[in-house]
Structure 1
Amino acid sequence: MLTIALPKGRMAQDALQWLSRAGWPQPVPEDDRKLVISSLDGSLNYLLVKPMDVPIFVEQGAADMGIAGLDAIRERSSDVYEPLLLPFGYCRLSIAGPANRPRHPLRLDISPRVATKYPRLAEKYFREQGISAEYIYMNGSVELGPLVGLADLIVDIIQTGSTLKANNLIELYQIMPSQAALIVNRASYRLHAQRIQPLLAALQRILPD
């Protein structure tokens, strides 16, 4: 039996729709609170985990495959095989700040405090800009940072920008675009190639060019 890790939430729904179209065995409908669900034919186990944890499950071999955002994969610096990009989960990792922030280049900020759940990617970007920043790790409600004086800037995922606008924040710089990707544990890909490769081929056939 192969195991695939899916991120909880909207991306899991999108992933299952595409996997179903590709003919992958689907999970048996069960209690929404269950975190491990088997497919009807017993050939696949689906794990429902936090989006940022999918790369860890796959890299460490707890799952043979997974679907995760490129933002999570890069933040975790995961050593996994990335055979396919998938046409959903589009967003961008960006720096945002108060709408009334002085419009000067980022490099002129002196030791800004940055609230984020992406400390690795944030530190890399600011370092490349020659900026020494203080990073405040937050796992949710990052937008609150500048509003309550906890942080000067945030680094977070942005889709429509509506949450920023509602909290009087603006997008300043884009760090990287992101979308869903299918990832495979490197050892699993070698050991279970006869089972994994047909699944990948079936999915690739239905993806847009």
Structure 2
Amino acid sequence: MATLKVAVQKSGRLSEDSLKLFRECGIKFNNGVKKLKAQSHNFPIEFLFLRDDDIPGYVEDGIADIGIVGQNVHDEYQKNVEVVKHLGFSKCRLSLAVPREEDYQDISYFEGKNIATSYPNILKDYLKSKGVSAEVHEISGSVEIAPGIGLAEGICDIVSSGSTLLSNGLKEVETVMKSEAVMVASKSLTEDQQKLVNQLIFRINSVLEGKNNKYVLLNAPNESLDKIIELLPGMRSPTVLPLADKGWSSIHSVINEDTFWENIEQLREAGAEGILVVPIEKMIR
């Protein structure tokens, strides 16, 4: 029987988010503390816990069949693997930053200057696209210290909240790329392994769809049904049930959470009452 070997970052937020997603997909395993491997007992999958920078290479070499990495890591290492799913979590951005006191106007600031980064390939491509010639210094870890010790006039690094830049006297000035977790796969999967990947992606899609949508229940006067149904289209169409009170109905529907908040005032104006919004664990179209 085929088994999928999945490379996951061994620690950090990306690791936590990845393992949470697998558990939400109904895949049970015990990764323990500092374990380098874990086996699921209800899905043919084995987890390998690795450094995130190593994951694309392990997938390319066939040591792992699929892996979860940041889009930034995939783009930087340019390994011969295929992105099979954008996962929508662990979002961040790769940005240029300079000392706070600098009078930064535009990207031409970096012309002829030194930039420290752990992502030299992405940065060089970005500077080339902007027509800027700068010296790129590749360093690993503690990139933020580079301007303070005179190594570079600016840095290019991953930014989430921006607090690390702030604490090091830096300000974000350009977004080089936006990143999120992606699933990458080997290009030499067997037919059985590809079937397992498809099953896994099906489960992931069901979980992600559920997170992005909400189950909505409300009561409304019958004369407002057409207007409310227009605002709550549902997966195919809403469920409408008569209430004990004549002239009133209960409407059940599924709606994207963002759309719900955009329409909430119109729903109330149309006469909707007793509105309940319920999370969806899984959603299969």
TM-score when scaled to structure 1?
Answer: 0.91
Partner of 2:64: 63
User: 2:16 matched to which residue of 1?
Assistant: 13
Counterpart in the other structure of 1:153: 154
| Cα deviation 1:37-69 (Å, max 9, x = unaligned) | 222358322111112222121122111011111
State the SS of the aligned residue for 2:150: coil
Whichever residue aligns with residue 14 of structure 2, its letter is: M
Structure 2 residue runs of 5 or longer lacking an equivalent are 213-285
- Deviation track 1:114-148 (CA, whole Å, cap 9, x = no partner) reads 11110000111111122221121111000000111
TM-score (norm 2): 0.68
Partner of 1:101, secondary structure, is coil
* Structure (1 or 2) with the larger CA radius of gyration: 2
Aligned partner letter, 1:97: V
CA deviation profile, 1:5-45 (whole Å, cap 9, x unmatched) = 01132111111111111123x33243x22222222358322
SS at match of 2:90: coil
1:127-177 deviation line (CA, Å, top 9, x unaligned): 112222112111100000011111111111000000111111000100111
Q: Could you tell me how far 1:187 is from its partner in structure 2?
A: 1.1
Per the TM alignment, residue 87 of structure 1 is displaced from its structure 2 partner at its CA by 2.4
Structure 1 residue runs of 5 or longer lacking an equivalent are none
Would you say 1:162 and 2:160 are equivalent positions?
A: no
TM-superposed CA distance for 1:205, in Å, is 1.5
Moved over 4 A (4+): none
Q: Distance in 1 between matches of 2:80 and 2:182?
A: 14
- Number of residue equivalences: 207
How far residue 189 of structure 1 moved from its aligned partner, in angstroms, is 5.9
Instruction: Show CA shifts across 1:69-101 (max 9, x none).
Output: 101111112332222111210100110110111
Which gives a bigger RCO, structure 1 or 2 (Cα 8 Å, sep 6+)? 1
